[in-house]
Structure 1
Amino acid sequence: MRVITTSTVPAYAARRRRKCRPAADARGRRDPDHGRRQKEATVTLPVETTALTKRYGEIAAVEDLNLSVPAGEVYGFLGPNGAGKTTTLRMLLGLIRPTAGRVRLLGAEPGPASLARVGALIEGPAFYPYLSGRANLRVLADHAGVRRTRVDAVLDVVSLTDRAKDRYATYSLGMKQRLGLAAALLKDPELVVLDEPTNGLDPAGMADMRVTLRKLAASGCTVLLSSHLLAEVEQICDRVGVLDHGRLVTETTVEDLRAGGALRVVADPLPNAREHLGRLFGPSRIRLDGTALELDVNPEQAGRVNAELVGAGFVVTELRWHEPDLEQTFFALTGGNPGAA
């Protein structure tokens, strides 16, 4: 386990509250430029890469990667196994050196100062099996120079307080993952980087991790996680970057990635219905999808489509708005198929 420890979420939230107070001088007069300076300070991206590249001989693991992770969001780094996700995270954390390009964490080059504000869990967590969860965290806290009072705080964040006295060897896989996350939170990070945090978890473990990560984001912490599990990214993340063969295919919000729905129509006879709707809306806005038509129109036009078809004598058996899910969009972007994932 590679853990870069940082500190507890409540303390970070307190710092944010202090920064939101109106600035004043020694006489209590408000600084008129404080709001402008505060706004300028908040535009720094927690993670930013420029033309980041990593090559192993002739093989490009990551190629010309330009990544931008906004503050206070859960960002999903999505891609199939071998796409270059873990390699990218290792470069962000200074664990491997890029072949070319630049990395900035919290507005600075990766180094002791910036990494002290980052918590990370790369690869599976590994602790002393004969020690309790609390004792394991105390060992890490002592090594990192963190007060032991932080241990109970992070155990509460990951909902392990009730099992803190139990030996690590008795923990389920999901509990082990959450303890690894707790270790990464010891120094109250502003940014948390996680490599496949839900990998291997059962549905209950995934749900627990999802709640914990959303709790972190709500407190003001930025979370960057890699995953090949499309459904989990769709439920956890605010924004995604899709990586394929070391290249960033797209970077957008989950909502925008799912956008582009269509009105699905099944009518008899279908070829004639397609021709009829083509005259109304234009042939380029109608696609044949198996035994149905997909119309590139607004959902509000469903009533008009139905009326036009029924009025022309067609039998309409299905008329509904179809919104593609993240999985469909992912395979369209990467040129893959569900069986290859």
Structure 2
Amino acid sequence: MTAAKHFATDISADGTDDILDFKIPDPEGELSDADFQQQIEVAWQVCDRFDLQTDIWRGRILRAVRDREKRGGGGSGFLNWLKDRDLSKSQAYALIDLANSADQMLQDGLLETRDVNQFSKRAFMETAQSSPEVQQIVSEAARRGEQITRREVRQLSDEWTAMSSDLIPETVREKAANNTIPTRYLAPLVKEMQKLPPAHQATLKTEVAASPDIDTLKQVTSEARYLSKYIAAASQVQALDPEVVNLEQALDEALRVGCLNSTADLVNQATQLEQAAAKLYTAWKRMNALAERVYVDSGESTPQLRSLLSALQPLCSERIEVRLGEIDSPAMRTIRLRVLPDSPDGA
């Protein structure tokens, strides 16, 4: 990435001192609760902004170390560098992403060097993940000297979504514009509807347009969430042969009789069960291979090792047995699963 102007390290209120130093109010003092909380909040915001700048600089440092290692043709040096500083790879790349976002906004002219002082750490990260239009609006507020919090960024993002998304009917956008409907109800709806095919988007949009109120928005958001859940899961379930089951018609019927939520959960559970069965079979095969290896490598001189193999036998046979609950518990039960031999054609 091209080098960008650096953020200033000054985070003080008057811009004349770059040392993090302030007084915390005495909890036993004479301040009123309101004044105490106000001073504490100011101190916390200063720390938050200091945290943000520290993480941006750490991200730049990590990026430099990583790029230096890349130039040398290897990545192990970078991982060792992280290990020496008790940093995980995911933490390191999160900081690098933060630094990249900061430098990109500087290069794009969205921020000046000292504008970062107006952000809390979480607000800056929220801004970096927002659309360019929201970044522009937030940056303008920061340049005016306004303190930017995560709540304000989310509110601006919700407002932009409400006013710009084609998935929101015009009647609803008008109500959002005059504050009849809070914009916070629209962003989740758009997020879920974006996951759906155009036909389902059109159906839900019509439903919202017919009853443009908060209850309908909540209901349709829930429907969109379960629709996307159903569509994503149904394509992964091997038991659902498209030549036998018409998934689209089954979905329409679930919508018609009002059991979409249960149907989506049922299909999602089927996906998990098939995946669990595959993992179980793989683990069972691996366990049998390991048990045979241990049996061959051991002998009469290892009675406890043979006892261990004997105790594990119920998990290695074709009839797997697993006990649920304590032996002396009235709720105890034994689960038995049978693994059938593979068919000759591998089916």
Normalized against structure 2, the TM-score is what? 0.23
User: Which structure has the larger Rg over C-alpha atoms?
Assistant: 2
| Structure in which a larger fraction of residues adopt strand | 1
Bigger share in helix: 2
Give the TM-score taking structure 1 as reference length.
0.24
